[in-house]
Amino acid sequence: MAAKPILPEALNCLRTIYQRNRHLNAFVCISPEQELKERALAASRRHDTGTPLSPLDGTTFAVKDNICTKDMTTSCSSSMLADFKPEYDSTVVTMLKNSGAIIVGKTNMDEFGMGSYSTTGFHGPVKNPYSPNTSDYSAGGSSGGSAAAVAANLCFGALGSDTGGSVRLPASYCGVVGFKPSYGLLSRRGLVAYANSLDTIGIFTRDVRSAQLVFDCLNQHDPADPSSLDDYLRRKIKKQAIASRPAANRNPVWRIGVPIDYNVAEVSNTLKASWVSVLAALRDLGHCIKPIEIPSTRHAVSSYYMIALAEASSNLAKYDGIEFGPSTITASKPDGSIPPSLHSIAVAREKGFGKEVRRRILLGNYSLTSEAMENYFIHAQKVRRLIKEDFDRVFAAPNPLNSSLKQRSSDDDGIDFLLSPVSISSAPSLSDVVIADGTGVGGYINDVFTVPASMAGLPAISVPVHGNGDLPMGLQITAQYGDEGRLFDIATLVESLSEVGT
Amino acid sequence: MRVRAKIHAMPPLTSALRVRWPSVVPQYPRKWVCPSCLTWSQRLHTESIQTSNQSAPPAKQPRSSKSTAKGSKDNSKGSKWEVTVGLEIHAQLNAPRKLFSYAATSFNAPPNSRVAPFDASIPGIQPKLNIPTIVPAIRAAVAFDCRINRRSTFDRKHYFYKDQPNGYQITQFYHPFASDGKVVLNELDGLDQSEVIEIGIKQVQMEQDTAKSIFQPATEDTPARTLVDLNRAGSALVEIITTPSLKSSKHAAACLKKIQSILRASTAAIDGMEKGGVRCDVNVSIQERGLPGLGRRVEIKNLNSVKAVQESIEAEIKRQIAVRENGGEIEGETRGWDAVKGESRKLRGKEGEVDYRYKPDAELPPLIIEESLVNHIKSTLPPLPDQILTELMNEPFALTLKDARTMVDLDDGARVNYYKDIYKDLSGRPDFKSGSKHLGKLIGNWTLHELGGRLASSFIVWLDNPVTTTQMADLLFNLQNGTLTAGNAKRVLDHLVPFNDSNIRVADLIEEYDLATRSMSEEDDEGLIKLANSIIAEYPDKAEQVRSGKKPNLRNFFIGNLMKATGGKVDVQACKQVIEKIFSA
């Protein structure tokens, strides 16, 4: 077997980045060439001696700029953290490095992950590699840089973060695989918090099997993350997965749910056509397609924004210009509208945060005030619980996190997966995004498909389908909590169907 | 009034954090001897040595509260205004590490040297509950007779300030770990003899402490600035909230003192207000007697002494009465106390009130406290101040309230153990003669006053007390059986204190310095009578005055001279007997 050309591949990545990143704006920080060479050399030596650290040894990775990397600025695309050089690697980055992966750089994003088009950051917008020559299209957000980097072959894979769709949406716009695991499986230590009950580390690759490799490498309990799933529950999930495996010699028959609540009017015709053709192909293969109702998802987006923004207002309270943020020494004198002790903090937050972030913090803070709390935040929490219960009702597999395992009345009622689009259309052009930006919260409609899985903490994957147009689109498959193994199986199948279709 | 909405938040997806005994808590072998054995900390040992240098003045406070109690009585009982006070007390838990990070707690460490990344709010770093910190917290709650809630959760309280690096404090607003406790105040706390009042403890919650900000005036090189020391940031506190049921400043002061002494005795919190370990906010309202409900409450924040609490409440009552009697309305507001000027000033009114935007912390799992842990803590709780006081005031110890108080209050009650060890030693000796003096009182007197006085005048702190309990017991043994006179016993003590040697045996000292009282055998008795007769013969005038009954008190003159003549080796009783015998013959 010929030795893997690791060093040439890594150097090729770097060359491509130098060539294309000026236009794409996917990377905001690139690793020093010397360091990259050394790591690639070490990896290829390990491969030569037959002792690779893992299947990922020597592969190149990009990391979203809200995931802490030692000695590399982690700005979250915010001038608030423009100078933030963490003294530690986030757990997922440490795991990647320990598997031999080579970090090539940090990727552009929406400021603090707040946006759907990677346009709100202070590094400027990310451009979709599939943009036609005539105009620039959005790479999607908030992990747009990571999606674009993988799509443009600037690296083997990338890490992103998904709060309400921030991995799946850019993956669908850029035509790559974007995977959001179950909440609590991948460590969030080192992920700068946006909405910490929703934030999940996500994975970008060009095919489903690679995503699974990366996931397997990162899927470990982390004692430093209080929300990381403990080993007891991990064993429980494993047992459940083994129990639900079909016998070795039989092809599984999957029950695939089509959420009719998701069939919103805004979904583009080409996307609908792709959705239907994949469903038809699955049916032809003997799988069972069932329409299902998840009524609570109608309120998912509004509840999601309530919760996410409330948490964001809290998580971003630490950026007060004292430890982080722009210097306010030269700030104007207080004008009396706020107490002098808060003046410098107000100035720092005004200067350090962009418009979208300020808007979201303001909304989030309002929903937590004593007058609004009951109507908004608590109400949204109730909706969130309903969403989770709705999902538990439709899935055949029980949710391993429920302590009391409610026996389903009949196993036939349940489904194994949900199949839906990721977004309402393919990527919009950046000029359209600017127009949509002016309409305030109207742009939030795009999250309608991705938010329910985030609210319930479920694993979901975006698999690219190439419609008739030039721009790629994605279909989303959602599974029960912890059911990653089977999710990758069906995603591989859907991936092969869409390849045949194009 | 705080209004708490019921929160039925979706629980975090990950499981709850369960703590039970014995899985998390190392068993501590002996109660109450060393409060830090539980926590593996060196801090308590070293720091208590440093701080007890400022030897506390004995039990001064009850007196000062008496004088002001009159003032408050005028306000509360005599007038038409009914006063209601509630306390919110923040106490630093006796825990070696911070609540949510591994950094050590400290008081005197160099600035910013005890800071974990979480304490400095480094992005991407999450809180992780340090389980041992909940043990002192549960002790406090158990000592206040609280119900320990099996499931409690953590919430964020938001406000911007320089000393709040995260922009919020993690506390337990919606579901505290303990509620519905009480503190009983009675005559032991300086109340009138028949007065017993019960103050409800609404809840006890765990929360984070803030950093310290230090203002630095401008110098030649630097402009005026505020420096932030994060050493304290994130340390574990308990907040103890009483019900608004205190009726006077005197009761509030007594309640605060009682809460502090319970915290100290239960080893939940070691440092009192004098060291900044306890801080207090008070809520004061007045209402016309007979009318239902409470008046609008005014909060006075950040009081750091019992005196400040008492004085600020009195001043606030006066201020509110003046406003009401002039036809004004009380505004719900927050005030600060200026101890120097003796007056409070408005910090912010209702319109400037901070909305703390309380919100469940989304990533800290609920804390489940198993009953086994609570039971373990209950069964190993050191005796509380009232229990110790009552014990000391009853037989066989029979100390006065004042002496018992002194023993309990000073040096975290270290004298109590010393005292009891001596009692146990002496009463356990088979050849011990109890003598005419009450043993409990005798030991109390010698421990507190004779030994205590000598230590104080030599500037020795109690923790460095050089006299062992065995030495003290030997000394009192010889005093009680008549070998030592009181005077010579004091001489022995005078020797033991400066020599600071636990190997010195009292018996050796008696022999070496020939301090033993002459044995009272027949011949010695005769010798003593001879000596007495010769002294009486020296002063015929005076002897005559005694005999005639003109000046019977002159007997003492002869007793004194006889003692002098024996070199102090015959005790006063024997000398008295001989002189009496001669004169009555």
Name the residue ranges covered by the structural domains of chain A. 1-225+248-502
Q: Note the pTM of the prediction, 2 decimals.
A: 0.82
CB contact (8 A) between residue B127 and residue A223: no
Cβ of residue B545 closer than 8 Å to a chain A Cβ: no
Name the residue ranges covered by the structural domains of chain B. 17-379, 385-512, 522-584
CA distance readout (Å), A169 to A67, A122, A140, A147, B303? 19, 21, 6, 9, 54
Cβ of residue A299 closer than 8 Å to a chain B Cβ: no
**Beta strands B197-208; B178-185: pairing state:** antiparallel
| Low-confidence spans in chain A with pLDDT less than 70 | 1-4, 246-249, 328-336, 404-412, 437-444, 467-469, 499-502
Give per-residue burial for B44-76: e unless 16+ CB within 10 Å, then b: beebbeebbeeeeeeeebeeebeebbebbeebb
User: Which residues in chain B (133-172) have CB-CB distances under 8 A to chain A?
Assistant: 156, 158, 160-162, 165-168
CB contact (8 A) between residue B162 and residue A341: yes
Task: Give me the pLDDT at residue B5, please.
Answer: 42
User: Nearest-CA neighbor of A396 among A411, A409, A418, A406?
Assistant: A411
Report the CATH fold assignment for A1-225+248-502: Amidase signature (AS) enzymes (3.90.1300)
Interface test with B, best of A163, A307, A320 (most B CBs within 10 A): A320
Task: Give me the pLDDT at residue B281, please.
Answer: 95
Task: Give me the pLDDT at residue A438, please.
Answer: 64
CA of B126 to nearest chain A CA: how many angstroms apart? 6
Chain B residue with Cα closest to A68: B124
A166 is catalytic: yes
Residue A174 and residue A147: Cα distance in Å, rounded? Answer: 6
**HEC readout, B188-225:** HHCCCCCCCEEEEEEEEEEEECCCEEEEECCCCCCCCE
In tens, the pLDDT along B298-332 reads 999 989 899 999 999 999 999 999 999 998 999 88
Residue A257 and residue B209: Cα distance in Å, rounded? Answer: 50
Q: Which residues in chain B are contacts of A303 at CB distance < 8 A?
A: none
What rounded mean pLDDT belongs to chain B?
A: 82
| Low-confidence spans in chain B with pLDDT less than 70 | 1-16, 20-78, 434-436, 518-524
| CATH annotation of B522-584 | 1.10.10
Task: Give me the pLDDT at residue B64, please.
Answer: 36
Exposure of B268 in the CB half-sphere (CA atoms within 13 A): 31
At B337, give phi and psi (nearest 5°). -105, 130
Task: Give me the pLDDT at residue A420, please.
Answer: 94
User: Which residues in chain B (48-77) have CB-CB distances under 8 A to chain A?
Assistant: none
Interface test with A, best of B4, B13, B350 (most A CBs within 10 A): B13
Q: Which residues in chain B are contacts of A90 at CB distance < 8 A?
A: 124
Task: Give me the pLDDT at residue B40, please.
Answer: 32
